[in-house]
Structure 1
């Protein structure tokens, strides 16, 4: 509805300004604005104070409803933690007493005392809880979990719908809390990669549920708390970083292509610590977009609306820069079936065909879907409305800000493979390898990861395991330790295919060894010997010394592929602890779990 002088209390100039502003606002911005106006209005009313906790209304069960809220997060990369902390600040601004804690730092026995519980948790790998949620998850699903009849709760679940077990951990927390007797303050919300708006809506729903439980009428909408001192650039407002260097780290004849990227952050105000990641919003390969347009016979210049805010772009540009076209998900297939009369697609999605769906999704993209299940007698606008926004790609930062002010370095492996009769390419990695030149810009933001950090005590020994591009954060660790003069011992296990062509950053490691910044380095080049040797084999060769380092208080870091490498290294660590510590398997597992609890075993795996 357009505001007018006749239907509003505003004058002509105000009406014109508001009519220009309001259509441009996102849902979360509208929520913030309404909350801000309501808060400023209540602040101007004299004598409005909150009732003491003991005087709050009584709920339906007869007990006093507390204004205390506990927010627990399980987070692998930092997204869930950031949302939990922001939710805590917002609720505090509305008069609640809030405790925000990592699940690993929360004492499970205190759960019985909690009346209002909010869970913010991501799902990791193949439906697994994040590392810092494991102990709490296991407690809650054990026989020791208490009855929680007085608990009110709500779950915000983060995930990626391209994975089979989308938001699985959140779903399991939600179900288990109900089984233990808890009552939902607000239904669980499952977020895909673009989570900002659903997360804001969830928090507003939670706020309404908290007020309803206390017998209060609907309150003003929540306002997002302005983050004082934070840079203007963020995940939702990325900085255009100029490319300074783009170098292939592999030697001639290598089976791999690994790009070393140096980007300028000058003027951004962005800061980071070793262990953090950089998010990049990539563009799709224009050649793939052109094949898609040709297949669908659509006009590349047709204007289409790309989001709820009504932004309009030419179709080709929208497919290059806004929509995901290289990954298929089950929800996408289900929505596509509504746009097609193809019986084969309907048959594929019929009950009992879960394994066939999973097999079809593997290694295929939107072009395959279009070719396999046409004709598509719908408009371009209808079709693109089922596509999700292209997600950012996260890369471990390979440099220290103190060593390289106003710069950020990345180590990116180019992804190329053949599947279903076509060559496939990684969206961001091939953009960097084939189309990105010095002087170009990339939209980027910093993803802080509090779960992968150097020890606070610079004298603490560190053990780093990072094959291939997994070595990236350890380059930042070494740069930082060199810069700060840290005295703690350091030991790197690095692996790749060939010594001659694939020893990433070789001269830098050798210099750090010579200067004593790096104490020890063991390498495994799997294709240089008849029998393949990996980093876990090198660890076993040094099991006695490695266990001695653990006993001295060393922190262990693992970065890289989760499904194979990280799994094998985890089991190797247990084997070493069991053997060298003279423990049973169960005791060795407890030893490693205790290290994790103490933040002495940290993983950045994908």
Structure 2
């Protein structure tokens, strides 16, 4: 889920501070809820005292291109922010907004719309986008004859309904009278290159202002904010303990991990999640190298960074789920009749076939010795996994606790272990793991402390239920919204 958080560079002072540790955590949580305009106003309010009247905000120029994003993982937001910065450098006025906060009637006042949206689950719009999506699909949605638009649809081709939300939004904007500025671009999980091509193409279609660095509404993060930590810039933390909470004979054990958290900028609230960048098992990496007859020392490039092939396969590339692109790129060097036949099949049949095999199965069924870089380019990026936080930083501010359940699944007549849960369950004290904060406002406590709340944690075999008329008094220690491996 994507939540726009305001930039803030406030870090706990190294000397005497008037705030207690819990108070400072509350300050950081509040700042995380503010957008850039709200944070700026608050700083002036605190400096000058209560103003006589609410501040007046200059309206966004009507000719500013609207970049609207929606999703649940942060990918759409990161693309939107990068696109906005590139547009400003070219003198293009832009306004960046979250679809969760955008009203459909605002579109009728715009001339240009660049919409970036992912598809959630099995073809549903992301939860924060649902109100905008429903309003746009409604019979009383505003006409948009004066709007020029283009859609960047994000998805995962391993799911049947690939990029369907972006497709539906694209078709609906046209049905309401909008005109395509540029054809819709659909992206798989390896979206960097196609998203960059789309961004370059749409910027060429937008009008330039007379002045470079035109004004815009953009939420950006300074160097020391909590947003510094992301999938691209994770925080490496040390494992303090890895405790098995289950009976030794249980096939799907549950572990409690305790991680050292020394960074004051790693801001989390009860209900938030942590993104874990798991490594592929060394045995699987070795098997892939053997199947391709390649050396792990061969140099390759991943995201503009040079590294040995073994590191790319260990930390960056998905070695389990084969994509349609892998099928296309592997059919020729392997000269496999089976793969060539699958390439001729309808896309739905292709996706169904790819669900029955893993990357190593295809490498062994259709052997080939590719160029190391070609192998890396054919594989999907290894996706992070989200785990709910199992402790409150207000009580223990220098540790992060996770509850992880081992994940097992059947494929190709055998049983496999989930990559992330296998990685986490085998960590030992002293090992390091790469993580980043993932805000999950849907599971935060209500702002009104008088609303009754029932909390139930299910899925791991550990059941907890708390009923309270004052949620702020709930002890969250050990509580997790889901102890299971969310995406193993």
Instruction: Mark the CA change 1:561 to 1:346 in structure 2 (over 3 Å): closer, same or farther.
Output: farther
- Checking the alignment, whether the CA contact within 8 Å between 1:560 and 1:605 is kept in structure 2 is no
- Checking the alignment, whether the CA contact within 8 Å between 1:78 and 1:451 is kept in structure 2 is no
- Checking the alignment, whether the CA contact within 8 Å between 1:415 and 1:429 is kept in structure 2 is yes
Which secondary structure does the structure 2 equivalent of 1:338 belong to? helix
Q: Of the candidates 263, 266, 277, which is equivalent to residue 281 of structure 1? A: 277
Instruction: Mark the CA change 1:190 to 1:397 in structure 2 (over 3 Å): closer, same or farther.
Output: farther
Deviation at 1:85, TM superposition (A): 6.5
**Paired position in structure 1 for 2:236:** 240
**RMSD, matched Cα:** 4.1
What is the alpha-carbon distance in structure 2 between the residues aligned to residue 203 and residue 227 of structure 1? 23
User: What whole-Å deviation, never above 9, does each CA across 1:248-277 have from its counterpart, x for those lacking one?
Assistant: 222344342122111112136311122222
What is the alpha-carbon distance in structure 1 between the residues aligned to residue 461 and residue 177 of structure 2? 43
What is the alpha-carbon distance in structure 1 between the residues aligned to residue 478 and residue 305 of structure 2? 50
What is the alpha-carbon distance in structure 1 between the residues aligned to residue 264 and residue 194 of structure 2? 28
- Structure 1: stretches of 5+ with no match in the other structure: 1-51, 55-64, 493-504, 510-556, 563-603
Deviation at 1:186, TM superposition (A): 4.1
Match status 1:163 vs 2:159: yes
Match status 1:309 vs 2:292: no
User: What whole-Å deviation, never above 9, does each CA across 1:426-463 have from its counterpart, x for those lacking one?
Assistant: 111101113x1011001111122334322122222223
* More deviation, 151-160/194-203: 194-203
**Paired position in structure 1 for 2:222:** 227
Deviation at 1:245, TM superposition (A): 1.4
What is the alpha-carbon distance in structure 2 between the residues aligned to residue 120 and residue 319 of structure 1? 29
Match status 1:153 vs 2:153: no
Match status 1:176 vs 2:172: yes
User: What whole-Å deviation, never above 9, does each CA across 1:302-343 have from its counterpart, x for those lacking one?
Assistant: x12132525031x33332222211112222212222333111
Query: In the comparison of the two structures, how many residue pairs are matched?
Result: 427
- Checking the alignment, whether the CA contact within 8 Å between 2:81 and 2:219 is kept in structure 1 is no
Which secondary structure does the structure 2 equivalent of 1:381 belong to? helix
- Structure 2: stretches of 5+ with no match in the other structure: 1-57
Which secondary structure does the structure 2 equivalent of 1:446 belong to? strand
Instruction: Mark the CA change 1:377 to 1:275 in structure 2 (over 3 Å): closer, same or farther.
Output: same
What is the alpha-carbon distance in structure 2 between the residues aligned to residue 119 and residue 401 of structure 1? 36
- Checking the alignment, whether the CA contact within 8 Å between 1:211 and 1:219 is kept in structure 2 is no
Q: Of the candidates 308, 331, 335, which is equivalent to residue 341 of structure 1? A: 335
Deviation at 1:298, TM superposition (A): 2.6
What is the alpha-carbon distance in structure 2 between the residues aligned to residue 463 and residue 257 of structure 1? 27
- Checking the alignment, whether the CA contact within 8 Å between 2:254 and 2:403 is kept in structure 1 is yes
What is the alpha-carbon distance in structure 2 between the residues aligned to residue 173 and residue 295 of structure 1? 43
What is the alpha-carbon distance in structure 1 between the residues aligned to residue 429 and residue 484 of structure 2? 29
**Paired position in structure 2 for 1:98:** 95
- Checking the alignment, whether the CA contact within 8 Å between 2:460 and 2:484 is kept in structure 1 is no
Deviation at 1:71, TM superposition (A): 4.3
- The TM-score normalised by the length of structure 2 is 0.74
User: What whole-Å deviation, never above 9, does each CA across 1:151-176 have from its counterpart, x for those lacking one?
Assistant: 12232333223323232211221222
Q: Of the candidates 447, 461, 474, which is equivalent to residue 456 of structure 1? A: 447
- The equivalences for 1:521-600 within 5 A come to none
What is the alpha-carbon distance in structure 2 between the residues aligned to residue 107 and residue 462 of structure 1? 30
**Paired position in structure 1 for 2:411:** 419
Match status 1:269 vs 2:252: no
**Higher helix share goes to which structure?**
1
Instruction: Mark the CA change 1:163 to 1:370 in structure 2 (over 3 Å): closer, same or farther.
Output: same
Deviation at 1:280, TM superposition (A): 1.4
Instruction: Mark the CA change 1:197 to 1:560 in structure 2 (over 3 Å): closer, same or farther.
Output: farther
- The equivalences for 1:405-444 within 5 A come to 405-434=397-426, 436-444=427-435
What is the alpha-carbon distance in structure 2 between the residues aligned to residue 166 and residue 69 of structure 1? 27
Larger Rg: 1
**Paired position in structure 2 for 1:114:** 110
Q: Of the candidates 470, 476, 479, which is equivalent to residue 487 of structure 1? A: 470
Match status 1:292 vs 2:283: no
Match status 1:259 vs 2:255: yes
- The TM-score normalised by the length of structure 1 is 0.61
What is the alpha-carbon distance in structure 2 between the residues aligned to residue 254 and residue 273 of structure 1? 32
What is the alpha-carbon distance in structure 1 between the residues aligned to residue 136 and residue 487 of structure 2? 25
**Paired position in structure 2 for 1:574:** none
